[in-house]
Amino acid sequence: MAIVRVTLIAFLVGSSLSLASGQQSASTAKSQPVLNVSSMDRTVDPCTDFYTYSCGGWMKKNPIPPDQSSWSAYGKLQDENTAQLRGILETASAPDPSRNAANQKIGDYYAACMDEKAVEAAGIKPLDPYLAKIAGLQSKTDLAGIVADPVYFLRYRRSTLFRFGSEQDAKDSAQQIAVVDQGGLGLPDRDYYVKDDVKSQELRKAYLGHVQKMFELLGDRRETAAEEAQVVMRIETALAQRSMTRVERRDPQKIYHKMTAAELQALAPSFPWQVYFAKVGITSLASLNVASPDFFKGLNVELDKEDLAALKTYLRWHLVSANAAFLSTAFVNEDFDFHGKILSGAEQIEPRWKRCTEYVDDDLGEALGQAYVDKYFGSEAKRQALKMVQEIEAAMQADINSLPWMSAGTKPLAIEKLHAVANKIGYPDKWRDYSKLEIVRGDEMGNVLRARQFEFNRLLGKIGKPVDHGEWEMTPPTVNAYYNPQMNDINFPAGVLQPPLFDPASDAAPNYGNTGGTIGHELTHGFDDEGRQFDAQGNLRDWWTPEDGKEFVKRASCVSDQYSMYTIIDDIKINGKLTLGEDVADVGGLILAYMAWKDDTKGQKLQPIDELTPEQRFFVGYGQSWCSNEREENKRLRATVDPHSPEKYRTNGVVSNLPEFQEAFHCKPQSAMVNQNRCRVW
């Protein structure tokens, strides 16, 4: 799997868990304005609760669809994009011999996935050869050959024993190196295994039940399956205890430990690394990043402690869990019941066409994305977005130059880094070549596994080679954006540059508040507590004077203290250390967007619209980018795993730090939306 350190604008778990609804999405019209007055609740005082003032109407009109765990401006737009992709895929799936190669692949992949009868008839058969391999394991040393198969990986979500992939060398960003990292869990985070509160205990009990049911579906007797679930829990809990927390992992120094393959072998001698590397096709490996050495020490202890039978049980669980979504209904439903329902709160599974569309996006994203861009992303949107990006970069330059707390020792290097940021808008200049990936009509699981192997080969093929700066980590229809500190680039897929988040036909104020805020957010990531540790070339290297570094830390703590006060649900507060990078990016991003908007409209006589001044429209545009409703279960999940604060605080927490907001809405100094201890980093 790609282990890439990117920071997103929004939280989207493995797409099938977070996006899109059924019937509602038949419409592909995107006529909503960027600022929608009827989405507001003007009975609420904007100085008391700006989020509800901006989004109260939206929240009432947009209940969460039964197949969703949350519903938001982002999720709704993703849903509309997915409906557009469905149209493309339905056309491409007609077995027309004149289809081009890309359409053959996306069309036949989609057709195979939609062929529920064939999938149902196949049942567990596609996994039989892998189950037989596990059954035939003779010794623990043969384990390495088994887990090297990509069938055990599921991108972005789960891994077996540990994670393996490639990444840019943190201290030599021009090079790609191999990386091994902690992994091997079935629950979304280590905290689920180690926390002792009632909710965590309940979830562990539900997880045991889920694992047991999967073993029963594999044909095991109930009592046996119950014991097997206990084995899985024991092994995963041990791995969780050896895993770093999400907060620890936000420190790039803590996840960089370059060593030789021999040093890794010494660290975890019970796992035959050479066998593993040979199996994945790597013949020689001078060095690699062992991101979490303590985890591998712990893994070694567990491998020594557990007997072969227990490890076989663990492998069978991960095999079925990583592939359940592509098997027959019984497996799909059991997987959804736990991950969709219990962990995230959705009531129903998404309709099949939607899941299939998302799988095509996962596995052939740039083939599908090319068709999407041709149809739905105009040159005017790209031109305007690029213009906005350049204005926001200019605003950041002015901002850095005027910063009172940063000295002349650091400023030129900050400006150098800013100038080196690469702007990527809409889609890649060069599309990924899928010609070596074979897609067969009528063979759903075969396609999934070949696609996973293809992706694995692509990632491992990078090791030892120079970095390709044209690559994207997101597909074009994705409603999200990211900054990658090692590439030092900001990336805005075509999917996020669509109404109601962005509209070339809208007046400037809400466009700048919404998409301008997003652009400013990504740019600020280059200078948040994590991003600031990388230089203009994307190398992990301290370019700050010690005094300026201290000034930064002081200002950043103001932000983390502020957000740590906010309650997510019950007595669960925001983990301000987990969300610090995102919160800093939110505050800084909106300041930059405001500066850029003022500059863009300098000298123009802007008129109020719908009784909102241009300044008010800017802020409401921002507020409405975060309109959302969310299920309780999903709030709890995100409290643990999501580095972004809940939408309410992404709105209120930000504006309460901005005097420009206070002025636009004439807020009294004691208002709730005026932070008495105003935080500002950038």
**Which residues of this chain interact with Zn ion, rule CB under 5 A?**
7, 582, 585
586 is catalytic: yes
* Residue 505 φ/ψ, nearest 5 degrees: -90, -5
Contact criterion met (CB below 8 Å) for 414 and 393: no
Pick the closer one to Zn ion by CB: 455 or 582. 582
In angstroms, rounded to a whole number, what is the distance separating the alpha carbons of residues 229 and 316?
11
* DSSP alpha helix (H) spans, 426-515: 444-460, 508-511
- Considering the complex, what minimum distance in angstroms separates the CB of residue 358 from Zn ion? 22
Residue nearest to Zn ion (CB): 7
Structure tokens belonging to residue 209: 């039940």
Give which of 421, 431, 423 is closest to 397, Cα–Cα: 421
- Considering the complex, what minimum distance in angstroms separates the CB of residue 414 from Zn ion? 19
Half-sphere exposure of 103 (CA within 13 A, CB side): 16
* DSSP alpha helix (H) spans, 218-260: 222-241, 246-249
For 295, other C-beta atoms within 10 Å of its C-beta total: 26
Pick the closer one to Zn ion by CB: 437 or 496. 496
Pick the closer one to Zn ion by CB: 289 or 480. 480
For residue 607, with 0-12 CB atoms within 10 Å meaning exposed, 13-18 middle and 19 or more buried, which class applies? exposed
- Considering the complex, what minimum distance in angstroms separates the CB of residue 578 from Zn ion? 12
- Considering the complex, what minimum distance in angstroms separates the CB of residue 555 from Zn ion? 18
- Considering the complex, what minimum distance in angstroms separates the CB of residue 512 from Zn ion? 18
Q: Which of 586, 630, 642, 647 is catalytic?
A: 586
Angle between helices 614-625 and 73-92 (to 10 degrees): 60
Pick the closer one to Zn ion by CB: 585 or 654. 585
Contact criterion met (CB below 8 Å) for 185 and 243: yes
Pick the closer one to Zn ion by CB: 460 or 479. 479
- Considering the complex, what minimum distance in angstroms separates the CB of residue 140 from Zn ion? 42
Contact criterion met (CB below 8 Å) for 530 and 488: no
In angstroms, rounded to a whole number, what is the distance separating the alpha carbons of residues 674 and 139?
64
- Considering the complex, what minimum distance in angstroms separates the CB of residue 526 from Zn ion? 11
Structure tokens belonging to residue 556: 């950043």
For 654, other C-beta atoms within 10 Å of its C-beta total: 27
Residue in this structure with the two tokens 């897929």, named with its chain if needed: 493
Pick the closer one to Zn ion by CB: 7 or 321. 7
- Considering the complex, what minimum distance in angstroms separates the CB of residue 490 from Zn ion? 10
Pick the closer one to Zn ion by CB: 391 or 582. 582
In angstroms, rounded to a whole number, what is the distance separating the alpha carbons of residues 153 and 162?
10
Contact criterion met (CB below 8 Å) for 459 and 467: no
Q: Which of 169, 393, 522, 582 is catalytic?
A: 522
228 is catalytic: no
In angstroms, rounded to a whole number, what is the distance separating the alpha carbons of residues 381 and 426?
9
Element (H, E) at 310: helix 308-323
For 666, other C-beta atoms within 10 Å of its C-beta total: 9
User: Which are the catalytic amino acids?
Assistant: 522, 586
